Amino acid sequence: MTIRLTYCDTRLTSVDELAAMRAGGARGLELVVLQSVGRHPLWRNTHAHAARTLELLVAGGGAPAAGTLLLSSLAVDVMRSDAIALATPPDRRRRTAVAITVAPHGRADERRLVVIGTDLTDEEWQAHRDELRERLSALGHPSDAAVLLLAVDYKLLRLPALGRPDEAARIEPTGRDGAALVFEVDC
């Protein structure tokens, strides 16, 4: 089974533009990670508009995660969702991550996939990866599940498990929808 994963920074492509590029709506197992989504007082309205426009469901994130929003198709069962504020030095901006644990083949299937959307750069990922692993495990995300990590520098990394960050492998996009990157990932 393949999951279609789309990564889009809403400063570069609007939700309406992304919807037009995705004509036909959700296709099977699909996840969309939106960066820089509104954090203003009406953020819930902005997120509902994004989900409705893309014909997807809000899976996690949003304002509590500094504007990283994860959306999913109805074909994906979201088992857990958390927004995490990471330790940030006083002279830096707040760093966050959104994590969802999904059952790509339905709740009856024991295999799980942890999808993380974050505003960390490569360097910051190296600095925060142990903290993120510990926090996610403490929150109940399965430590033995495969992990897909989408970083702010437009990279998708696949880890065999949360506890094995040194084995991260980069996955190249299979296409583009305007400024959005599209990844087809076998699970």
Distances (CA, A) of 117 to 42, 60, 85, 107: 22, 10, 12, 22
Q: In terms of pLDDT, which residue wins out, 153 or 13?
A: 13
**CATH code of residue 122:** 3.60.10
Q: In terms of pLDDT, which residue wins out, 108 or 10?
A: 10
Domain of 54, in residue numbers: 2-186
Contact 154, 165 (CB under 8 A): no
Rounded CA-CA distance 187/98 in Å is 20
pLDDT band at 16 (very low <50, low <70, confident <90, very high): confident
Number of domains in the chain: 1
Q: In terms of pLDDT, which residue wins out, 17 or 153?
A: 17
pLDDT band at 43 (very low <50, low <70, confident <90, very high): low
Share of the chain above pLDDT 90, in %: 10
